[in-house]
Chain A
Amino acid sequence: MADRHEIAEAYADWRARCNENDRLRRMLRGWDRVVHLVATDTGDRFTVVVRDQMLAELTDDAEAVADLVVTATSEDFADLFWGDLNPSEKYMSGEITLAGAQEDVMRLDAMSMVAFLDQ
């Protein structure tokens, strides 16, 4: 299981890649969203806020209402943020579940794909 520190470290790396990626920032134009992350094995919850085409820092508390809720194991979150996991594979096998509008799900997946296109 990945603890909060590992997930925060992974997210910080992912956040830096996303915020420095011009193409990704264009994709996030007009897409201000609150995303909840729920780790099924540890019970940890995090919030990611996307505003003005930028990802904010990961916070431990969960705002009352989200636009998108992502549920996965803590290991999957860590691997996803490091770019070692294709979230679509896990989603299509039911290991990652989502709640939210389809277009929001698409943008989130776009972030995970485009941020690591040079890999």
Chain B
Amino acid sequence: MTAGPPAPAPAPERGGAALLRRALGLRTVVSTSTGLAFAALEYLAAAGLVAYVAGDSAWIAVATAGLLALLAWGCFSELNGMFPTAAAIRLYMKRSMDDRVALTITLTYLTTIVLVVAADAFIVGTAIAHVLGQSAPVAALIIAALLGLAVGSNLRGVKVAGGVQDVATYCVLVATAVVAVTALVRSHRPLRFPLSPLHGHHPADLLEAVALGVFLFSAFEWVTTNAEEVRRPRDIHRGMLIALALLAAVCCLITVAMSHVLTHHQLGSAYPQLSLGRAAFGQAGLWLMAGVTAATAVNTFNGGFITASRFIYATAREGSLPAALARLNDRAVPWVPVLALGLVSLVVSLVVAATGSWEVLVAVGAALEALIYAVAAYCVLRLRTRLPEHPRPFRLPAPRILAGAAIAVFAVLAATASVSVQNRFDPVPLAVIAIGGLLSTAYVLVALPRVRAAAEAKKAARRPRRPPRPAQDPGP
């Protein structure tokens, strides 16, 4: 047993030729990063953002958010380079702060995945019901069916192939951009206040718009959990950068198109993208955007379920969550986390459907993601001090300035997003986050010591199976 903190094992060599038979290339890294960010919730976030700025100037908030997302990109690129593993979030947080704080933050972060999965199920189910001319109860059934399908597929170990994911993601982006541009062109009206976001608005409104804009890019960093699968480690940070550019371009287009073409009522609905599709191509556009909305679920359900369930499994195997969460079925799938994720997502999406509170969901997601970006920046700074000699294939330039700015900016954005819904003060998102944080804290302080004690007791009760080394002959 070594004393002191364990030294990290060096990453497997990646020579010029591909070391792995199945490795992800840059194209799939880009599609994964973009697809994880571009969930169906994206359309509602874009529609929500529009309310905070004047006329057709939402692209300014999106572009500003994109620049801020670059700060997050720099931080995650450095952290991913230091710890190119699916367990990176546990590693860099554990080494930056007290493990209990790290675990509390990580568990709260997991909430974001549940929210996005729940939101996507709600949006896709509601959109399909609307297109079919069906009522809310039917939408609820469709939501349940979608989540059931996602859970069933995950339990059977069905994973969307990288190629299918690539096609789905790029089709979603292209179709969305084409619909947005076409809707704008067919309006035959000039843009209103495209360069004046503050016209008739308070500066705090622009801040809120930027906070929602950051949410449009959020989850791009989840691709770092694929760091062990890539052909070249640098493809992760390059792919994330390209993903941010794609997201910025498409989100600028859809926010401007939505603000220019849609009515206030359409913007406040649960499916503004369908209205945008109809504005572009009539009934065919409605069906096109319904299909696009359903396609976004491919990445969300595939990526979100897998990422969250495997993370819960690994944390349970590590001994930081109850051992029951590490149970595997005969297809080596951690079935307890998958079922739990499905059930919680179903409850959340049905509550949202019943209360119409999807904008609260967007605000919670925006605040949580901004918080995580602030935490990532903090980890970059701490690790520069604690692990100065650790290899950093990617280094954030001027870390004290950039990471310091990221901490401040994202903390302010998180605070802003947590108390605003539909351009009105609303503490409900903050309350939801606080409850989630309290539950995580309660688990870490009360239940975790017992979980770890049980794991230690089980370990202590086991006799080592490894035979002792024969004593060396001391010689004459």
Q: Is B314 an interface residue (CB 8 A)?
A: yes
- Decide: A97 near B10, CB < 8 A? Known: A105-B86, A119-B462: yes
User: A58 at the A/B interface (Cβ < 8 Å)?
Assistant: no
Known contacts A71-B10, A94-B83, A113-B326: A101-B22 contact under CB 8 Å: yes
CB distance from A62 to the nearest CB of B (A): 10
Residues of B within 8 A of A40 (CB): 9-10
Residues of A in contact, count (CB < 8 Å): 46
- B308 CB, nearest partner CB in chain A, Å: 12
**Docked pose: A106 CA to B319 CA in angstroms:** 16
Q: A67-B20, A67-B21, A93-B6 are contacts. A26–B465 as well, Cβ < 8 Å?
A: no
User: A78 an interface residue at 8 Å Cβ cutoff?
Assistant: yes
CA distance A46 to B302 in the complex (A): 33
Question: With the chains together, A57 CA to B112 CA distance in Å?
Answer: 44
Distance in angstroms between the alpha carbons of A84 and B229 in the assembled complex: 28
A27 at the interface (CB under 8 A from B): yes
Q: Which residue of A is nearest B11, CB measured?
A: A97
B6 touches A94 (CB 8 A): yes
Going nearest first, the 5 A-B pairs with the smallest beta carbon separation are A88-B317, A82-B466, A94-B8, A99-B12, A110-B332
- Name the one of B6, B225, B326, B465 contacting A83, with C-beta atoms under 8 angstroms: B465
**Which among A27, A65, A119 is the interface contact of B328 at CB below 8 angstroms?**
A27
B237 interface hit (Cβ, 8 Å): no
A-B contacts, 14 listed (Cβ < 8 Å): A23-B330, A65-B18, A67-B20, A68-B20, A71-B11, A82-B464, A88-B314, A92-B90, A93-B91, A94-B6, A96-B9, A99-B14, A103-B159, A106-B313
Mostly, the B contact residues are loop
A66 to B21 CA separation, bound complex (whole angstroms): 6
Q: Which residues of chain A from 24 to 77 have a CB within 8 Å of any chain B CB?
A: 26-27, 34, 38, 40, 65-69, 71-73
A95 touches B326 (CB 8 A): no
Given known contacts A69-B12, A89-B318, A106 and B330 CB-to-CB distance under 8 angstroms:
no
Cross-interface CB contact of A106 among B229, B310, B465, cutoff 8 Å:
B310
Contact between A102 and B21, CB atoms less than 8 A apart:
no
A20 on interface, CB distance cutoff 8 Å:
no
Q: Which residue of B lies closest to A10 (CB)?
A: B466
Contact B332 A27, beta carbon cutoff 8 Å:
yes
Return the chain A residue nearest B316 by Cβ: A88
- Chain B residues lying within 8 Å of A66, measured Cβ to Cβ, are 19-21
Q: Does B64 contact A (CB under 8 A)?
A: no
Docked Cα-Cα span, A74 to B272, in Å, equals 58
User: Does B228 lie at the interface of the complex (its beta carbon under 8 Å from any beta carbon of A)?
Assistant: yes
* Whole-angstrom distance between the Cβ of A109 and the nearest chain B Cβ: 7
Given known A102-B86, A102-B229, A109-B317, contact A79–B310 (CB-CB < 8 A) = no
- Please pick, from B19, B326, B333, B466, the residue contacting A69 in the complex, using a CB distance under 8 A: B19
Which of A83, A89, A97, A107 contacts B85, CB < 8 Å? A97
Q: Decide if A100 touches B9 in the complex (CB within 8 Å).
A: no
Which residues of chain A come closer than 8 Å to B466, judged between CB atoms? 10, 78-79, 82, 84
| Closest-CB distance, B467 to chain A (whole angstroms) | 8
Q: Are B8 and A98 in contact (CB under 8 A)?
A: no
Q: How far is the CB of B111 from chain A (nearest CB, A)?
A: 20
Residue in A closest to B84 when the chains form the complex, CB atoms? A97
Contact A67 B91 (CB under 8 A): no
Say yes or no for B437: interface residue by CB 8 A criterion: no
B423 interface hit (Cβ, 8 Å): no
